[in-house]
Amino acid sequence: PEIGKLTELNRTGWEELVAKFISTPATVAQRTLEHFVPGGDKDPRLYKDATGAIMIVGPDLPIGRKVTGTQRAQVEVFRGALRPFTTTVNQELSDVLKSKIRMFTIFPGSVTGSEPNNQKIAEAFNFLVTENALTSAEVVFCVDETR
C-alpha cells in the first residue's frame, strides 16, 4: 500500500500493516497446521512424522523505475519480520515436534523494480513440494533475485 514514513504512522495504521503482513500469514499458517494435524493443538505428539508444506508468498518489492529506497525499506521491514518467523516455525516443527511439515516464504520482486515473474513463483511451488525441499535448510526464497 502507498504509505508515508513508517515512523509517522499512527497506531491504527501501523497495526493494519502488521495485521496484513505478519498476523494474517501467521494465522493462515496456524490454520493450515490444524488441517495437517487435526487435534495437534491439544496433543503435540500428533505432529511426529506428519508431512506437508506451507507457503507464504510476499510481500512483493515495489514495482517501477522510480522506486525509492524508502519504499523498498518499508517492504523489507515486513519481509525482515517474516524471515525469523519462518525459521522459528520450522525449528519448532522439526526439532521440538519431530514433524516433517515445512513452512516456506517466497518473496517476489527485485531491487531493480521489475515485475515479479509468476513463472518463477510457480517453479518455486513445484520445488517446495518435492522431497528435496523437505530436507533443505533453505526456507526463504527471493525468486526474482539472481543468484
Residue 134 is predicted with a pLDDT of 86
10: phi then psi, degrees, rounded to nearest 5: -80, 170
Q: Which domains does the chain have, with CATH numbers?
A: 6-141 (3.40.50.720)
Give the pLDDT of the chain (147 residues) as one tens digit per residue: 678 889 999 999 999 999 999 999 999 999 999 999 999 999 999 999 999 999 999 999 999 999 999 999 999 999 999 999 999 999 999 999 999 999 999 999 998 899 999 999 999 999 999 999 988 889 999 999 876
pTM score: 0.92
Contacts of 42 by beta carbon, 8 Å cutoff, 6+ apart: none
Q: Is 104 helix (H, G, I), strand (E, B) or coil?
A: strand
- 7 DSSP assignment: G
Distance CA 37, CA 43 (A): 10
Measured in degrees and rounded to the nearest 5, phi and psi for residue 105 equal: -120, 130
Q: Name every residue whose Cβ is closer than 8 Å to that of residue 33 and which is 6 or more positions away in sequence.
A: 40, 54, 101
Amino acid at 104: F
What pLDDT sits at residue 137? 87
pLDDT of residue 147: 61
List of long-range contacts for 128-137, beta carbons under 8 Å, 24+ apart: 128/53, 128/55, 128/102, 128/104, 129/53, 133/53, 133/102, 133/104, 134/51, 134/53, 134/100, 134/102
